[in-house]
């Protein structure tokens, strides 16, 4: 019995010692910081994965985006975005997130802070894509992860694609060199077509005004012999703008699919048969040209998301997808092998 009692005494002594250590660390941390614990009116948890391609992950991610949109009335509230559980930031979802975040901060003046991820890769991605700078957080992390280090970002507003000469010059090196070599035409043409459908008069489905500044955002990467480009705007989307901008094409679509065609059908027909809003056949075919280039290039891939729909082409094989959730905008992703 005495031997057993001694073991119990040692057990309780260890517990007491551990409690004292934890208490000491907590008190010294508080004294050393000299700051009170910050409180927030709203805490929004970022999802595990930022993407709009996978159906289940897309649903969770867009639910997070919708929570961000609801912040537009939170002018005097402190908001925290919690990234502690985020493990994957795919380019398409990350760009859509940044675009919505930019609009909240610059148009609605929402003050947002961020709690970083437990993943060094995610934190590097937040810095490399300009998200931390957008939030006013300066960490100066060393970007070393191979999936992050080559990403570049750019954004702009106003008319794009009206003049092709020098269109990449204003980016001041923000776009990878490969784009300037091999994707110049595809980039400018895709911008032109996307912008024609981006910010017309029809209202959006998420109660945001349709007269927003004509902003666009872009990521690019040159990695492992491939060029990747993602381009996004937060306009009304191709399916919603088409009846007004291209009524003849819309009439043909309705005759083919009925009065309520789904978004993926509209996107596909727009790519295959689009003309410009001016009516000239030599204009407004940038997406068609880009699709043709990628479909005839070995290893070329394209995904065009707009609202609920998506048109995809992988190595020349087309596919149309319709989702149950909308991105409220247009997002183009393309990639192809690069010959140096």
The total number of residues shown for the chain amounts to: 340
- For residues 65 and 96, the answer to whether their CB atoms sit within 8 Å is yes
Starting from the edge strand earliest in sequence, which strands make up the sheet with 301-306, in order? 151-157, 215-223, 226-233, 330-337, 301-306, 309-314, 317-322
**What local confidence, expressed as pLDDT, does residue 325 receive?**
97
pLDDT by position in tens, the chain (length 340):
445 577 777 777 777 777 766 655 544 444 444 555 678 989 999 999 999 999 999 999 999 999 999 998 877 788 999 999 999 999 999 999 999 999 999 888 888 999 999 999 999 999 999 999 999 998 889 999 999 999 999 887 654 444 333 434 434 444 455 445 545 655 665 566 555 555 555 555 565 554 455 688 989 888 888 888 899 989 889 899 899 888 999 999 999 999 999 999 999 998 888 654 444 444 445 677 777 777 777 888 999 999 999 999 988 889 999 999 999 999 999 888 876 5
| Range list of H helices, the chain | 2-33, 55-69, 91-107, 120-128, 131-134, 177-182, 184-196, 238-245, 247-257, 263-273, 286-295
Write down the pLDDT at residue 261.
Answer: 97
Torsional class of 260: left (φ above 0), alpha (ψ -120 to 50), beta (otherwise): beta
Q: How many CB atoms lie within 10 A of CB 108?
A: 14
Which residues face 230 on adjacent strands?
219, 333
**Residue 174: per-residue pLDDT:** 46
Delimit the CATH 3.30.750 region(s) of the chain: 38-137
- pLDDT score for 172: 41
Indicate the fold that domain 38-137 takes in CATH. Transcription Regulator spoIIAA (3.30.750)
User: Hey, what CATH topology would domain 155-340 get?
Assistant: Heat Shock Protein 90 (3.30.565)
Strand order in the sheet with 79-82: 42-45, 79-82, 112-115
Own/partner pairs for 51-56, CB < 8 Å, 24+ apart?
A: 51/88, 51/90, 51/92, 51/93, 52/92, 52/93, 52/96, 52/305, 52/327, 52/331, 53/90, 53/92, 53/303, 53/310, 55/323, 55/324
Domain with CATH 3.30.565 in the chain: 155-340
């Amino acid at each position: 019995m005495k031997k057993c009692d001694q073991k119990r005494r040692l057990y309780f002594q260890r517990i007491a010692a551990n409690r004292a250590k934890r208490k000491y660390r907590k008190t010294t941390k508080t004294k050393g910081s000299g700051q009170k614990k910050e409180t927030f009116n709203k805490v929004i948890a970022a999802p595990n994965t930022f993407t709009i391609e996978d159906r289940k992950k897309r649903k969770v991610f867009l639910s997070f985006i919708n929570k961000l949109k609801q912040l537009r009335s939170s002018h005097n509230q402190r908001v925290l975005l919690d990234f502690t559980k985020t493990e994957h930031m795919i380019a398409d979802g990350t760009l859509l997130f940044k675009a919505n975040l930019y609009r909240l901060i610059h148009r609605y003046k929402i003050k947002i802070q961020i709690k970083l991820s437990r993943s060094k890769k995610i934190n590097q991605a937040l810095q490399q894509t300009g998200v931390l700078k957008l939030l006013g957080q300066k960490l100066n992390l060393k970007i070393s992860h191979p999936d992050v280090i080559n990403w570049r970002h750019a954004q702009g507003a106003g008319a794009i694609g009206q003049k092709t000469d020098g269109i990449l010059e204003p980016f001041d090196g923000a776009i990878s060199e490969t784009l300037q070599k091999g994707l110049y035409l595809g980039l400018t043409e895709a911008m032109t077509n996307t912008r024609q459908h981006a910010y017309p008069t029809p209202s959006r489905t998420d109660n945001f005004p349709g007269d927003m500044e004509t902003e666009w955002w872009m990521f690019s990467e040159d990695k492992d012999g491939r060029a990747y480009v993602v381009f996004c705007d937060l306009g009304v989307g191709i399916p919603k703008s088409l009846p007004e901008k291209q009524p003849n094409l819309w009439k043909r679509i309705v005759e083919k699919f009925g009065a309520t065609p789904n978004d993926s059908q509209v996107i596909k027909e727009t790519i295959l048969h689009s003309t410009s809003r001016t009516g000239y056949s030599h204009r407004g075919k940038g997406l068609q040209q880009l699709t043709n280039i990628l479909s005839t290039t070995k290893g070329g891939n394209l995904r065009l998301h707009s609202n609920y729909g998506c048109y995809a082409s992988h190595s020349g094989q087309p596919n149309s997808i319709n989702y149950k959730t909308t991105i409220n905008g247009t997002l183009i992703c393309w990639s192809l092998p690069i010959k140096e």
